[in-house]
Structure formats: C-alpha cells, structure tokens
A and B are shown apart, each in its own frame.
Chain A
C-alpha cells in the first residue's frame, strides 16, 4: 500500500509540474498576474508530493519490503539500517528520485527567496524548473519506476554493492546532486531572462548567489567522490580520470567559468550572452553526467543494467533541453548587446582568458570521455583514453589560468597597466619563484614539475597577500580589525576560495612528487620500510561483521624505534553477493597519510600487501573544502541581501552601473 501511495504522489507531482511549467510562463508572456501567481504554490505543492514519494521509498527500504523490485534489487535483510536508507540512491531508479527530490528542494528555495524578483521573472524561473521536472517525472513514471512491484515478493534482497556500503556513499550522491541540480536554477534564470528579454546586470546579481551555492555543493560532492575512491577502492589513487569522475568534473569546470563570467556581468554588464551560454552549458553537462553515470553506458561501480528504452528517453530529453535552449539562445541572444567595452589588459580581459582556458580544459575532458563512446556506438572499435592524456592536456592549460588567477584580482576593471601590475607583483613573483626552487631542492628531490606546482601554489598565496595588503591600506575603518570587517564578504570569499586552489595544488604536487608505493609479500613478523616508517606485519585474524566476514591484518608502524600507530586493514567477503572487498587502513595526518591494504593470502599466513606513504594528500580534499567555504562566505555578502530587501531600488542602480548597452 505504501509504495502505491508513493507512486500515486509521483503521478500527482507530474500533473502539478505540467501546470507549473505552462501557466506561469504563458501568464508572463501575456501579462496575466493570476496565472503567474500559480508558480509559487505549484512549486511548493510539488515539493510536498515528491517528499511524500521519497519517504514512501525510504519506508519500503526501512521495512525491508522486498515486494518492491527496486528494494529487492539493492538491499538485503542483513544490511544495516543506515545503508538500507542510503540504498535509496544506490542504483538507477532511486537516484533519479533523489534527483527529482533535490530539484523540488531547489524549487521551494527559489519560491521562498525570490520575493525581490519581478513577478514575471519569478514565474518564468519556476516555470522553466517545472518543465525540467516534467521531463524527469515522465522518465521515472514511464521507464524507471522505483515503486514497481515484484510479484511474488522476493524472500530476500540482492544486497547493495559492498563498495557502496560506506559512510561516504551516504552523503556523496546527495551532495553531488545538490550541485548538479543546483545548476538548474542558474539555467532557469538564464532561460527566464532570454524569454523575458531582460538580460541585464540585475539578472546577473540575482543569479550569482544561486550559482555559487550550487558550485559549493558540487565542489564538496566531487571531492567526496575522490576521497571515497581513495579509501574504498583500495588502490590509493585519488583521481583516475574515469569517465564517471569526468562526468562530475565537467559541470564543475563549466560552473567555475560561469561564476567568474557572472561576476563581470554583474559588475560591468559585459559577457551577458556568454554567461547565458555557460549557464546552459553547466546544466546540460549536469544532465549529461547523470545520463552517463546512471544509464549503464559506462562500466564502473556506478553503472547498472542497461535498458535501451531508458537510454533513448534520456537522449531525447537531452536533445530537447540542450537543443531547445540553444535555439532560444540563438534567437534571443543577438539582441542582448555587448555591455561595457574593455581593453585586453584589464580584469575583464583576464577573466575572459580564464574562461577560455577553463572551457578549453572542459572541451578536452569531453573529447576524452565521449570519443571512446562514439567509436563504440558506431562499431569502429574499442579504445580507451588513459590518464596520461588528461595529465598532458591539463598542465599546459591550467598553468596560464592559475598564473592569471594571481593577477586578475589586482587588475583594474576596464583598463589596467601592465608595467604597473608588474611593479606591484614583482616581489610576489620573486618570492614564490625562489621558494618553489628551494623547497624541493632542500627536500632532496628536485624536478621541474614539482617546482612548477609549488610555484603556482606560492604565486597564488603571494599575490593574495599583496592584494590584501593594498586593500587593507585603502580600506576605511581605523584599526586593522575594523578594516578587515570593512572589506566585503564577497572579497573574503574570493580570497578564501583562491587559497583553497593553492592548498589543492600544494597537495597534488607533493603527492605526485614524493609519494612512495610498494607492493610486497610479507610473512608474519616481517618488517617493511617505507618513507622512514617501519611496518611490522603481525598476521591476520578472522573478524565477523553484520553482513560480512573479514580477515583483519595487524600492522605495527614505528619510526626511529618509536611506535607511531597500529593499522588494521581488512579483506572482507560479503555473504549475499559473495564479493570480496579490500578495506584499506589509513593513518591520516596533516603532512602525510600512511596507507596499508591487503592483497591476497599466500601460503603460511603470508600476504601480499600494498604500502603507501602519501605526503600532503589530505590537502587535496582540504583545498576543495576551503574553496567551498570561500563560496559560502561570498554568498553571505551584504549586497545580495540588500538586493533582496530593496525590491525595486536595486534594478535602476544596477543598470546605471553598467554601461549603456548597444542594442
């Protein structure tokens, strides 16, 4: 009965979504405010219905209702409750419901935080989001219904893939989807502005905080996926350039470009058409990512049974969304005008270059991800594109982007002077260059790549310091504390996010440059040495988990005769699917991670063992977290809140700031 209620709620949600996607947009076109007013209650009603459906599925999982096909396929009576609930998004159907649920959360958020928007704009935004949800609800109800019954009911479920039975798995997909789906708001803002023809600086200011929040979620989501791969797959890598990872990285690149382009549109009125295009791109790539990961096109832990009907539906849906919005763009964008002009050497110019580089990087990832799929689809042979390709392409594209990232915030809008910039930044460059050369040399291993990585990281930090000093000297507010407070949150957010990039680069450089990996055979009592640490293997013993049995190894780690830690890696066998799983033991640290994973048992209690010493690896995820925090700080800026409060006043002020448009 409960699953039927969920199913019924989804059908009702579809009806509401159809209303929400048609009446308000029509109302906005003809200026009928009664029709436009439908948008808000429709969005909230839809949220309640999808919430109901979501709870119904959760209930079916919690109560082990194996007469629901999806529950039987992805959970098991031995599975602990938290993983049964996480199994809601453990496979295709449920993750679509999660997608839909998160879309409805964003819709409700828009309906609450859009009181400052003109009514027509709000109606169009919610209308466009309603249309997106029509697509997803139709998809679920026609070819991928999570509430489908299994008659007769299964005695027990097929269990969740053991790789996914992990705390990281509980939060990673919702985070990632908050990011993916969050770009639907930026997309809806862009489409609404195209429809209404009011693509101006005010539009950019409204859409900036939404974009940044979505980007923060996506950053955390991608970082968590990478962390999960690090500790759960047992290979010790943090990024494999796997198509699934690329699918989440591409919207991130587009979203990063969009944030920076929106900054120009907001402050200077430029890049309008480009910002709209990026918003369309970011959301399309999010859809593509969902499609790639969840349709079974890609072979990995994320992919499940392939159903050609589903593939066809998603392809058509993608074609409608991307094609439709691009047609609208081609029709409307030429009227938008160019905004303020600027010199090549200016902040706009540098942000433009940064955008071009980000999009070039995005294009190269897209090529490497999709080309093998195309060849395969056309039956022209099977190929794969390895990590070396991505590494080779990324370094030369990102190096200039990061170099510009240091200069950009110091350059004036409209026109900057290159010699003046050089004088302001000569110390920053000198200091970072010397440090970058000296540090690896002092650490006893100098390679050009390590130095380049360090140079980029120190360059970001040094330029931030120069910029901070200049701004604090200029700021009003007397004491240092007062001046710090006087600088806007948006500025501090940018500083923090850029610091996050530096921390990230430091982590990547140190890991790539100094990590040590060893695969060894170890007898009981034998000691292996790695990166100054001694690992003594004290044998394994059997451990029983709730739904698995494990061989747990004991490793005694010491350094210079002092005990550092004990490590307990496991080799688990999960009963239901009879699947073996490596559970690595990690001893995390600010400056290094120690990583031990068990390979296979060899005769006489000996095991093949994988030992890693990974300096600074936690900085990689730490950097991402700092980036996301920077985003949060930027969103809390007063100017966005002011814009919310002062409904009408914000609009003329913003248009005055922008140069008159050429239309």
Chain B
C-alpha cells in the first residue's frame, strides 16, 4: 500500500469506528432517558405507559403507611394540586420525611398507583430537590387551590 492509501484506510477505519460508537451511544441514550413528570401531569394521563419515569413533589403529611412485612410502604406524592399514591418495597433513604420533597422513579400501575423502584431524597433538611420544587411551582402557577385545603381533603 502507498502511504496515501494507508492514510485513507486509517481515516476510513476511524470513521467507521466513530459511526459505530455514536450509534451505540445514541441508541443506549434513547432507551435509557428517564423523563420527569409532576403529579398533575400524571393525573392528566400525560405520562408514558409501560415505561419508567420519575415523579416528584411533596410527601403528603400523615400519608405514610407500612405493611405488615415492615418493608412495603405506601405514601402520597402531591404537588398541592393533584395527588399520586406511591408504593415502594425497600428501605427508604434517610432524608425521606413527610412534608418534605421527594423524587421517585418507577412505573404507573394499572390502578393508578405509582410503583416506585427507587426513592431518591439526596438533599439536606432545608433543601428541596429542584424537580420537586418545580412540580410545586408549576401546580401553583396553574392556579391550583392553596395547599391547606387539599391536605385535609383526600379523595
């Protein structure tokens, strides 16, 4: 091979490798994106079915219940406009608390319960996860009722 041909082969190989790598990356990227939705969006059925997503908001006060196995918990995530019941089996993170912000990842069950595979609360005492804060702000902006009336008014 002449040096010129060699260079072409090298560049060609590089391009092929680059194309394969980009395809691989973008494909994996597409199928692993996790979208975030607010409880209002869940209630309006704007969420994908059969695919995981994240919800965020506040853990409603005194909504946390524990099943007999000590591991399965139920709680309600609210953006002060709409409420989504959540079921999670496992150990909740240290910073999970009623009346505090939370983000959960999982799928929506057939009965409208969000089945969480992961509950994230990696923030400190005074800090709200931005997703959760965003959900609350959006619901507020949409002209929802003020928070107090909703908490004493379960479905």
Contact = CB atoms under 8 A, between A and B. Distances in A.
Interface string B6-27: 1001100110011001001100
A383 B24 contact: no
B137 interface: no
B6 A580 contact: no
A599 B34 contact: no
B34 A579 contact: no
B14 A356 contact: yes
Given A299-B122, A341-B3, A367-B29, A383 B36 contact: yes
B36 A393 contact: no
B32 A356 contact: no
Interface stretch (A77-85, A275-283, A384-392, A644-652): A384-392
B150 to A, nearest CB: 23
A344 B36 CA distance: 47
B124 to A, nearest CB: 6
A367 B33 CA distance: 12
B24 A388 contact: no
Contacts of A384: 33-34, 36, 54
Contacts of A521: 69-71
Interface string A229-242: 00000100000000
B123 interface: yes
A85 B149 CA distance: 48
Contact of A344 (B13, B91, B122, B123): B13
A135 to B, nearest CB: 28
A520 interface: yes
Given A299-B129, A383-B36, A600-B91, A367 B25 contact: yes
Interface in B101-134: 105, 122-125, 129-131, 134
A343 B124 contact: no
Contacts of A482: none
B124 A392 contact: no
B34 A383 contact: yes
B6 A602 contact: no
Interface string A588-625: 00000000010110100010101000000000000000
A392 B28 contact: yes
A97 B34 CA distance: 37
B94 A581 contact: yes
In this complex, which of B13, B14, B70 has the most chain A Cβ atoms within 10 angstroms of its Cβ? B70
B71 A393 contact: no
A301 B122 contact: yes
A368 B29 contact: yes
A397 B21 contact: yes
A494 interface: no
Interface string A124-164: 00000000000000000000000000000000000001000
Given A161-B124, A341-B3, A386 B94 contact: no
Contacts of B125: 577-579
Contacts of B18: 356, 360
Given A384-B54, A520-B71, A521-B70, A580 B94 contact: yes
Nearest to A344: B10
A419 B110 CA distance: 60
Given A299-B122, A300-B122, A608-B70, A388 B25 contact: no
A435 interface: no
Contacts of B92: 599-600
A606 B129 CA distance: 31
Contact of A343 (B6, B28, B32): B6
A41 interface: no
A579 B95 contact: yes
B43 to A, nearest CB: 18
A448 B130 CA distance: 40
A307 B25 CA distance: 34
B36 to A, nearest CB: 4
B90 interface: yes
A632 B33 CA distance: 40
* Interface majority SS (helix, strand, loop, mixed), chain B: mixed
Nearest to B91: A599
A385 B105 CA distance: 12
A265 B47 CA distance: 54
In this complex, which of B34, B54, B92, B123 has the most chain A Cβ atoms within 10 angstroms of its Cβ? B34
The contact size tier of chain B is 35 or more
A562 interface: no
A579 B94 CA distance: 8
Interface string B40-77: 00000000000000100000000000100111000000
A70 B70 CA distance: 42
B133 to A, nearest CB: 10
A381 B32 contact: no
A364 interface: yes
A389 B91 contact: no
Given A579-B124, A582-B94, A599-B91, A299 B130 contact: yes
Contacts of A599: 71, 91-92
B14 to A, nearest CB: 7
Nearest to B9: A344
B32 A602 contact: no
B143 to A, nearest CB: 20
Given A368-B29, A579-B125, A381 B36 contact: yes
A231 to B, nearest CB: 14
A363 interface: yes
A531 interface: no
A597 B13 CA distance: 50
A580 B21 CA distance: 44
B66 A602 contact: yes
A396 interface: yes
A519 interface: yes
A385 B95 CA distance: 22
Contacts of A388: 28, 32
Contact of B35 (A381, A581, A597): A381
A602 B70 CA distance: 7
Contact of B91 (A343, A364, A519): A519
A360 B124 contact: no
A580 B32 contact: no
Contacts of B122: 299-301
Contact of B24 (A385, A396, A579): A396
Nearest to B134: A382
Contacts of B54: 382, 384
12 contacts: A234-B94, A363-B25, A382-B131, A383-B35, A384-B36, A385-B32, A386-B105, A392-B28, A393-B29, A397-B21, A519-B89, A608-B71
Interface of A: 161, 234, 299-301, 341, 343-344, 356, 360, 363-364, 367-368, 371, 381-386, 388-389, 392-393, 396-397, 519-521, 577-582, 597, 599-600, 602, 606, 608, 610
Given A300-B122, A521-B69, 5 more contacts: A234-B94, A360-B17, A360-B25, A381-B36, A382-B35
Which 5 A-B pairs give the minimum distances between C-beta atoms?
A: A521-B70, A599-B91, A389-B32, A382-B36, A392-B28
